């Protein structure tokens, strides 16, 4: 299970300001701290980037690359920005992401082929709504898979995000369990060991006491790991959660156990 830091988010005022002023310092500091905390990849969440999309995305990518060679996940809904980011990438890169939404299939999916990258596929309906049950999610996955293979992109390029629901949704807790079944069933449905990814903080979106949010995330994380999740997007500064994630990794992957491998 790969740990991807979700800490670099343009919604953070400090980073937004840094991008506007082309100030590398806070961005570099954040990424260095992510690497130190155990990040195995960096998500660059650039948002919609309505102003100067190409320049700002290229600046972000170049800045991050000054301090790490880790894989970058380019997380923007702006096609022009995404293209500029891909062009600026020297590190290996993942497009985050597409779905059955027509605009994403038409504009973003071709970029995965053009730049020969992995691509995250969100299990959303064409109208952007989230499927409720595991069965609904798997139906969407099959359709997304067929769209992707029809374009000629290798199936192995796909990383599926089943959409972790906020618990505050009316059926959030039920959907969280459906997500586990989705992850477990996908490789069998698609006929190959398809990779999966989940955004842990989605679970606790909205208002709520911080300690309880962390507790709920720590309860759900090993459930995701046990279901076979390949990659997890999380706040890499949550030390206890990261220790738990690394322990889950060892539990799932270790042939021979020794206390030394536990963080």
250 touches its own copies (CB under 8 A): yes
216 touches its own copies (CB under 8 A): yes
- The count of residues interacting with its own copies (CB under 8 A) is 37
* Cβ nearer to its own copies, comparing 43 with 178: 178
Looking at the DSSP bridge assignments, the partners of residue 74 are: 44, 95
Nearest to 107 by CA among 158, 146, 151, 46: 151
CB 98 within 8 A of CB 120: yes
Q: How far is the CB of 244 from its own copies (least distance, A)?
A: 6
Q: How far is the CB of 12 from its own copies (least distance, A)?
A: 24
Q: How far is the CB of 158 from its own copies (least distance, A)?
A: 24
263 touches its own copies (CB under 8 A): yes
Q: Which of 20, 29, 173, 189 binds its own copies (CB under 8 A)?
A: 173
CB 51 within 8 A of CB 78: no
Nearest to 240 by CA among 37, 5, 1, 35: 37
Residue 91 tokens, joined: 């590190």
Report the half-sphere exposure of 173 (CA within 13 A, side-chain side): 2
Q: How far is the CB of 34 from its own copies (least distance, A)?
A: 22
Residue 186 tokens, joined: 């996908």
User: In a 3-state reduction of DSSP, which class is residue 153?
Assistant: coil
Q: How far is the CB of 175 from its own copies (least distance, A)?
A: 10
Cα separation, 263 vs 256, whole angstroms: 16
252 touches its own copies (CB under 8 A): yes
Q: Which residues bind its own copies (CB under 8 A)?
A: 167-168, 170, 172-174, 176-177, 180, 208-209, 212, 215-216, 218-223, 225-227, 243-244, 247-248, 250-252, 254-257, 259, 262-263
């Amino acid at each position: 299970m790969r740990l991807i830091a979700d800490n670099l988010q343009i919604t953070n005022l400090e980073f937004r300001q840094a991008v506007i002023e082309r100030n590398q310092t806070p961005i570099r500091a954040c990424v260095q701290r992510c690497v130190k905390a155990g990040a195995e990849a960096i998500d660059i969440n650039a948002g919609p980037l309505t102003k100067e999309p190409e320049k700002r995305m290229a600046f972000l990518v170049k800045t991050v690359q000054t301090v790490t060679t880790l894989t970058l996940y380019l997380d923007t809904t702006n096609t022009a920005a995404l293209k500029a980011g891909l062009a600026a990438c020297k590190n290996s890169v993942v497009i985050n992401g597409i779905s059955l939404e027509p605009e994403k299939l038409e504009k973003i999916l071709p970029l995965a082929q053009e730049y020969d990258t992995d691509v995250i596929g969100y299990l959303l309906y064409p109208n952007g709504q989230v499927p409720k049950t595991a069965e609904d999610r798997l139906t969407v996955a099959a359709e997304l898979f067929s769209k992707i293979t029809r374009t000629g992109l290798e199936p192995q390029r796909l990383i599926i995000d089943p959409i972790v629901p906020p618990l505050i949704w009316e059926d959030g807790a039920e959907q969280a369990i459906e997500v586990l079944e989705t992850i477990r069933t996908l490789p069998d449905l698609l006929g190959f060991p398809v990779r999966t990814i989940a955004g842990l903080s989605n679970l606790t979106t909205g208002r709520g006491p911080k300690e309880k949010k962390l507790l709920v995330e720590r309860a759900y994380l090993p459930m995701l790991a046990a279901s076979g999740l390949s990659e997890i997007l999380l706040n890499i500064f949550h030390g206890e959660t990261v220790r738990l994630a690394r322990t889950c990794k060892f539990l799932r992957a270790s042939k021979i156990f020794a206390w030394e491998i536990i963080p």
